[in-house]
Amino acid sequence: MAGTTASTELPVPADRVWQLIGGFDSLPDWLPYIPTSELSEGGRVRTLVNEEGGVIVERLEAFDNAARSYSCSIVRAPFPVTGYLSTITVGEGSAPDRARVEWSGTFTPDGIGEDEAAALFHGIYADGLGALTQSLAGGPPRGPGE
């Protein structure tokens, strides 16, 4: 099993960040890479479509509003891994008006090495947190490498 974590601290209160990203169907609100999300099974499954038209289906595994955290698994996706479980958590930052966001995942590589799989998801998480920073700042999202 492999894993990776990306985190960032934002100059925004944790409750405000959670208000934006805490909904299981909220990825299109802050992550340009995922422009479409559709819920099914009573809100427990989301079908995401990325910018290239790729489909990712995820199941909500845990949700804790008080702890500002949720976890999901991949049901179907074009990623070379199995047993994927991701958690996104919004906590207090270094000051009351700051938030720390952590996005982590564990998975078993399938056809690629652990380092390559970890690098793939670390890039997704880091880019996602960069997009979140831009969304909260009110500016346009930055592309990779900007």
Tell me: the pLDDT tens digits for 27-58?
Answer: 999 999 999 999 999 999 999 999 999 999 99
Biggest CA–CA distance in the chain, Å, is: 44
31-105-145 Cα angle (round to 5): 45
Count of other CB atoms within 10 angstroms of residue 1 = 11
Domain ranges of the chain: 2-137
Q: Answer for the pair 26, 18: CB distance below 8 angstroms, yes or no.
A: no
Task: Report the amino acid identity of residue 72.
Answer: C
Task: Report the amino acid identity of residue 77.
Answer: A
Task: Report the amino acid identity of residue 31.
Answer: L
The mean pLDDT value for 77-104 works out to: 96
Count of other CB atoms within 10 angstroms of residue 128 = 23
pLDDT on residue 138: 74
12-23-144 Cα angle (round to 5): 65
| pLDDT of 65 higher than 50 | yes
Residue 108 binned pLDDT confidence (cut-offs 50, 70, 90) = very high
State the fold for domain 2-137.
Alpha-D-Glucose-1,6-Bisphosphate; Chain A, domain 4 (3.30.530)
How far apart (Å, rounded) are the C-alpha atoms in residues 112 and 89?
Answer: 28
pLDDT on residue 6: 98
Between 114-137 and 14-21, two packed helices, what is the crossing angle to 10 degrees?
110
Average pLDDT, the chain: 93
How far apart (Å, rounded) are the C-alpha atoms in residues 73 and 58?
Answer: 5
